[in-house]
Amino acid sequence: MTSLRLENCTNCCMLPSLGQLPALKKLYIIRLESVVSVGDEFLKGDNCASMIPFPSLEYLHFSRMASWEQWHSINTEAFPKLQLLTVSFCNKLAGSLPLQLLSLETLEIKFCSLFSSCIPKCPKLQNLHAFKSGNMVWQEQELPPLLCTLDISGCWMLESMLDSFAKRSHLQQLTISDCSNISPSSMIHLPPLLQELNVQWCKNVDFVMSPTAPLQNLQSIHIGGCVFLKFISDDMKSLLPSLRKLSICGVDKMEEFPEGILVPSLRELHIEWCNMEFILSHQAAWHLLSNITYLRIFFPHDSHVNCFPEGCSLPSTLTTLELNSFGNLETLNCTGLQHLTSLQCLNIKSCPKLEKMLGEKLPVSLKKLHIQDCLLLEEKYRNKDEQLLRQISHIPLINSSEI
């Protein structure tokens, strides 16, 4: 037997000695709602004292164990080949993980609100995901040498890892979300090999970049729902030479716009769920977007924007512009787009009140117009409205969800 799935065994109070199965590679344990504790009985029976428990197991998954409170595993030889361990939706589980998992590559602990444990010794760990899972603690002085993906959400682990970030690591993707419970003004030193940074629903977090260690590989930054977020450096241009994509989502209450990350290498800018006042108040920073080619603006449905663009000058280097979910948008101002002489693609989505275009016509450089879920405008196009056709007839490719 190489794969086993135990699910909905309602009356099972104790796990069988599955560690005795020599060829077992994948084990799924789901909704055994009467199991309170897992211990040595899970590893091996009384007659197998010399046997290494789970000698071939590579994947172990626990999920929705409603009564599970403790995992007692002191056998350091168990799970010698385990590569992936997942524990999810075990709301009473307090601890703890095995002391060491020498072959583990991916560890996921999700929605275990009472979980309190130290991360085991995992020298081969490549991916760590801790999501809404209590008081997990990082005790090592440095990150595992092979760790490349770290995702921390809604737990206290981040604070125990701050010193580790400052040391040499191979971390490439870092996601920090819903970690507003850490100490005020926590300073995070970004690892030098980082390629992607995602920060959501955090406050009082400062990202520090050393002038002696440029982030040569950092290509993408996403900031969502954050307050009092800062990037600390005197020369962001030199420290972020490869940054190509910046996404800012739901930060209309951010105290200070992170202007320092509008570096010349930036090509994509996504502004989502930010009110128009936020955009206009920081329009002066847009002159720094000297090479941007892709702009996506996603407004909340209750936005009061009736005409766009109006009061803001879009970067002239754009080749693609996407307008999404302008709930009250009635007019597209073609005149305000005329300076976009490189614009090739215009996507307009989910603008239910959009009915007309103001001005002579859309930019002559346009090659593609895509209209989706804009019923009033699409009806005009379907009925061959003369004015609308004059404004868009020069565009080679026009797509509409209504045709």
Span 270-292, average pLDDT: 68
The token duo for 11 is 């009356």
pLDDT exceeds 70 at position 184: no
**40-78 pLDDT per residue, tens:** 889 876 666 678 899 999 999 999 999 999 998 777 889
Cβ-in-10-Å burial (0-12, 13-18, 19+) of 397 comes to exposed
pLDDT exceeds 60 at position 239: yes
What pLDDT is stored for residue 150 in this prediction? 93
Which of 13-17, 56-60, 139-143, 265-269 has the least mean pLDDT?
A: 139-143
- CA nearest neighbour of 38 among 12, 7, 69: 69
**303-343 pLDDT per residue, tens:** 678 888 876 678 889 999 999 988 889 999 999 899 999 99
Which of 96-100, 281-285, 317-321, 341-345 has the least mean pLDDT?
A: 281-285
What pLDDT is stored for residue 288 in this prediction? 66
pLDDT exceeds 70 at position 234: no
Hey, how many other C-beta atoms are within 10 angstroms of the C-beta on 347? 16
For residue 197, give the DSSP letter. Answer: E
Longest dimension (CA), the chain: 87
Confidence grade of residue 403 (pLDDT, cut at 50, 70, 90): very low
What pLDDT is stored for residue 223 in this prediction? 85
